[in-house]
């Protein structure tokens, strides 16, 4: 039995838009599961050594629910290019490098550690189409202490000469990969790149694989207007984009769909009815001039929304950076909607990066009892203040200032996986 | 005679939207002034010791042309509040603390050093209304090695009980302060907070002081729509906002006007005709939901545009962060303009934070001969790459990734003022 006890100013996003604060409080986890949260340490724990963070802030660690691991080497590059040129000049050539396992190992090792240093412990990500590099990625994430899902990408059309599979290869390699996955914390997820990248035959096979192996699904939906037109041309049989996934069994309550910037009322209703997860990627949508997803409206309509950095369309791995981007994007949306829709508050955006994804991982919001302990510790003592600040003010300031170096420690499933010296 | 020689990959923003690269090049400065830039070190310099940065990038350091120094302690706070509530809850109470000289000294010392660590060497900023704290701010900036302008703020109406002067106090203290300024690199600038904060009598006196002492002027213009309506109500005599400054001699080629988000064609023409500088503050405009200034259009129309962090409306001191915000805001503007206006490229936005302000400081764009040497050194060797990157690609990536710790050295007027160990 392994006991973990943290002491500090604890912040828990128990409800959307509200945080619960335990000033100078304790969290106890036994074998990774939270068994206590409160201000007075239970008597039976008093003999156990405490990780005492004094006046620092302890909050939930972050979940990045959409990102492209093989685009890590091109982070922050080519942002002046239009989407298609950006894909051809940077994305496809960069991803094609992951046929080289040594390059994959070196890159993914650094990548996994940069995720952890930024306080991200839960992920759902795209690999490239390479089976071996995908297994390397999963292994590096597992070793770094992360939990979540990784998908070998499927693409049998509209790629590049260096980055495309035949339909048969794509199916065979996917099944082989699923069978080779043997990781405790990093699981496979079925990953058609997006409708323009996958023939109907491949889509059908992927739907069957997902069903047979009980796997979740991730893809892209309604990111920008030219993509919508392209999908329409490819699928005259489908009235709307989402139906190109749904007809092959790829659109259900275990599906994550990135973007949904241009999902209209009807598509949003379909997302809601099917229980599909919307992964909002504000930074990427800003950089690629995709548009501003109506996140506030989606929440009001009852859709499930989580956040993704979407590197390398997004330019930062830090989910604090992406929380700030989410707030900004909601403010841009407010201007576009002529001040008729509301923006997201700091607590609301933080919830989308922490408690909302808990449900995808079958957990409750916040540091709920029974949840696995995923936490980060922030030391803001170097920041100057004019008056004594409340914990809530300090929380907001830390989210906004998003200083990577302020993250002093990161816990995943109760284990200390990062400790800044 | 003091000689400074830098060696590395030199990037100079010589023209708007274009960078000139000297791969493995040299810059020479004598007594702070650039005398040579090129690939082969002149014979007469070969005996002088070189600050050799190897494969690192050497680029112009950054100019922050609008920020509020006394709002530094509230950076990243209260961003969920509407403008007026934010002013009353955070801004005015925080600024009022600067009646305490010890607090001012401690805060401004840290502030000046954080500016330098972020690569900012040129500034034009607001202090609070306190004369003594303003002198302390100027002294701390000077000691940290920055150059530029600081203004004691004037406000004789619509402040708070703790933060307002009488008209006579404001005038007397301003003249006293101007006479007490004795700094070599940090000069005074006349600073009416904005029209709603200053009576006509005060405005008139400030116009006279600016003229008598040959001082530049800074203020705010057309930041948001409710402000426009307020100014209109206060000044039924003026058709447009800019005229409330112009009628008192506060609107000329040595005037910096922050924001200009809502400046229409007529106001933009007035800005151009008067040679007034527009200080675009993208991050602040995003946070406070002010709107998106038509920067691309302003440049096309021939207006002079520079950038400001506008802390604490803006949430980051780093001008790299603000360059990224400028690009993002121009992309939002593109969406609002239904893809009819162009966004700003990395090189264009970088120019606005470096070479454009050079003209305000009576210098030429880029690392021009005769300019004072203001430079920063970036080490990007920790960033992974799939292929060998060009210097231009590395430059773009560094701007986007805006990693504070990557700044290894900062020079101001030829002096090394920061060196990360």
> What structural domains does chain B harbor?
3-61+364-419 (2.30.40.10), 62-353 (3.20.20.140)
Phi, psi (deg, nearest 5) at residue B115: -60, -50
How buried is residue A98: exposed, middle or buried, by Cβ count under 10 Å (0-12/13-18/19+)?
A: buried
Separation CA A132–CA A100 (nearest Å): 9
How buried is residue A214: exposed, middle or buried, by Cβ count under 10 Å (0-12/13-18/19+)?
A: exposed
pLDDT of residue A222: 97
pLDDT of residue B88: 86
Beta carbon pairs, A and B, within 8 Å: 120
pLDDT of residue B40: 94
From residue B176, how far is each of A34, A376, B163 by CA, in Å?
63, 51, 19
Q: Is B367 helix (H, G, I), strand (E, B) or coil?
A: coil
ipTM passes above 0.90: yes
Window 353-372 of A, Cβ < 8 Å to B = none
Q: Is A112 helix (H, G, I), strand (E, B) or coil?
A: helix
Out of B289, B316, B327, name the one closest to residue A335 (CB). B289
Mean pLDDT, chain B, as a whole number?
96
Q: Which residue stretches of chain A have pLDDT < 70?
A: 404
Separation CA A277–CA A86 (nearest Å): 27
Phi, psi (deg, nearest 5) at residue A173: -65, -35
pLDDT of residue B36: 97
Inform me whether the C-beta atom of residue B342 falls under 8 Å from chain A C-beta atoms.
no
Residue pointed to by tokens 């000077």: B142
B75-112 residue pLDDT tens: 999 888 877 788 888 899 999 999 999 999 999 999 99
Out of A107, A316, A331, name the one closest to residue B384 (CB). A107
pLDDT of residue A305: 98
Out of A80, A97, A386, name the one closest to residue B94 (CB). A386
Strand A51-60 vs strand A375-378: parallel, antiparallel, or unpaired? antiparallel
Percent of chain B with pLDDT over 70: 100
pLDDT of residue B421: 82
**Pick from A112, A31, A71, A23: which is nearest to A418 by CA?**
A112
Separation CA A26–CA A43 (nearest Å): 12
**Residue B173 Cα to chain centre, angstroms:** 25
* Mean pLDDT, residues B181-209: 98
* Helix axes B319-336 and B391-401, enclosed angle (nearest 10): 90
Contact state of B286 with A328 under an 8 Å Cβ cutoff: yes
pLDDT of residue B222: 97
3-state secondary structure B21-45: EEEEEEEEEECCEEEEEECCCCHHH
Which of B117, B283, B384 should be substituted to probe chain A, the one whose Cβ sees the most A Cβ atoms within 10 Å?
B384
Out of A74, A335, A346, name the one closest to residue B79 (CB). A346
Residue pointed to by tokens 């990548």: A111
DSSP assignments along A113-131, one per residue: HHHHHTTEEEEEEE--S-H
Between CA A313 and CA A320, with CA A318 as vertex, the angle to 5 degrees is 115
Under the banding of pLDDT at 50, 70 and 90, the label for residue B415 is very high
Out of A316, A384, A396, name the one closest to residue B73 (CB). A384
Separation CA B21–CA B38 (nearest Å): 9
Q: pTM for the whole thing?
A: 0.97
The enclosing H or E element of B381 equals: none
Please check whether residue A309 is in contact with residue A317, taking contact to mean a CB–CB distance below 8 angstroms. Answer: yes
Inform me whether the C-beta atom of residue B292 falls under 8 Å from chain A C-beta atoms.
yes
B373-412 residue pLDDT tens: 999 999 999 888 888 899 999 999 999 887 768 999 999 9
Inform me whether the C-beta atom of residue B345 falls under 8 Å from chain A C-beta atoms.
yes
- For residue B344, the distance in angstroms to the closest alpha carbon of chain A comes to 8
Inform me whether the C-beta atom of residue A397 falls under 8 Å from chain B C-beta atoms.
yes
**Pick from A63, A56, A21, A18: which is nearest to A38 by CA?**
A21
Residues of B in contact with A345 (CB under 8 A): 80
Separation CA A353–CA B96 (nearest Å): 36
Contact state of B385 with A73 under an 8 Å Cβ cutoff: yes
pLDDT of residue B254: 98
Residues of A in contact with B97 (CB under 8 A): 386-387
* Mean pLDDT, residues B2-7: 96
Contacts of A212 (CB under 8 A, 6+ apart): none
Under the banding of pLDDT at 50, 70 and 90, the label for residue B45 is confident
From residue B416, how far is each of B375, B410, B411 by CA, in Å?
9, 6, 4
A129-179 residue pLDDT tens: 999 999 999 999 999 999 999 999 999 999 988 899 999 999 999 999 999
Percent of chain B with pLDDT over 90: 90
């Amino acid at each position: 039995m392994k006991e973990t006890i943290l002491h500090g100013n604890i912040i828990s996003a128990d409800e959307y838009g509200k945080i619960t604060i335990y000033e100078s409080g304790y969290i106890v986890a036994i074998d990774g599961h939270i068994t206590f949260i409160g201000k007075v340490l239970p008597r039976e724990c008093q003999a156990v050594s405490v990780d005492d963070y004094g006046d620092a802030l302890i909050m939930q660690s972050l979940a990045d629910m959409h990102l492209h691991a093989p685009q890590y080497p091109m982070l922050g590059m080519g942002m002046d290019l239009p989407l298609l040129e950006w894909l051809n000049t940077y994305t496809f050539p960069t991803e094609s490098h992951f046929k080289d396992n040594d390059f994959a190992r070196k890159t993914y090792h650094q990548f996994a550690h940069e995720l952890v240093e930024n306080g991200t412990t839960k992920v759902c990500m795209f690999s490239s189409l390479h089976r071996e590099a995908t297994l390397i990625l999963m292994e590096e994430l597992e070793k770094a202490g992360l939990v979540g899902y990784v998908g070998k990408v499927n693409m049998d059309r509209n790629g590049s000469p260096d980055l495309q599979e035949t339909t048969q290869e794509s199916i065979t390699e996917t099944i082989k990969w699923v069978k080779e996955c043997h990781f405790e914390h990093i699981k496979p997820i079925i990953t058609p790149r997006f409708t323009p990248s996958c023939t109907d035959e491949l889509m059908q096979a992927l739907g069957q694989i997902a069903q047979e192996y009980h796997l979740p699904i991730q893809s892209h939906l309604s990111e920008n207007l030219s993509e919508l037109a392209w999908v329409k041309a490819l699928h005259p049989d489908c009235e709307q984009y989402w139906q190109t996934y749904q007809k092959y069994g790829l659109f259900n309550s275990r599906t994550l769909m990135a973007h949904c910037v241009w999902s209209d009322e009807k598509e949003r209703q379909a997302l809601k009815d099917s229980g599909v997860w919307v992964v909002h990627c504000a930074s990427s949508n800003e950089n690629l001039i995709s548009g501003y997803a109506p996140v506030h409206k989606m929440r009001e309509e009852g859709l499930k929304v989580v956040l993704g950095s979407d590197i390398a369309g997004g330019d930062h791995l830090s989910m604090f950076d992406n929380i700030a981007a989410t707030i900004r994007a909601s403010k841009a949306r407010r201007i576009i909607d002529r001040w008729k829709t509301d923006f997201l508050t700091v607590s609301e955006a933080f919830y989308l990066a922490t408690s909302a994804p808990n449900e995808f991982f079958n957990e409750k919001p916040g540091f709920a009892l029974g949840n696995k302990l995923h936490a980060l510790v922030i030391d803001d003592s170097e920041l100057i203040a004019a008056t004594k600040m409340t914990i809530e003010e300090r929380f907001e300031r830390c989210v906004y200032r998003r200083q990577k170096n302020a993250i002093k420690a990161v816990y995943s499933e109760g284990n200390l996986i990062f400790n800044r010296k």
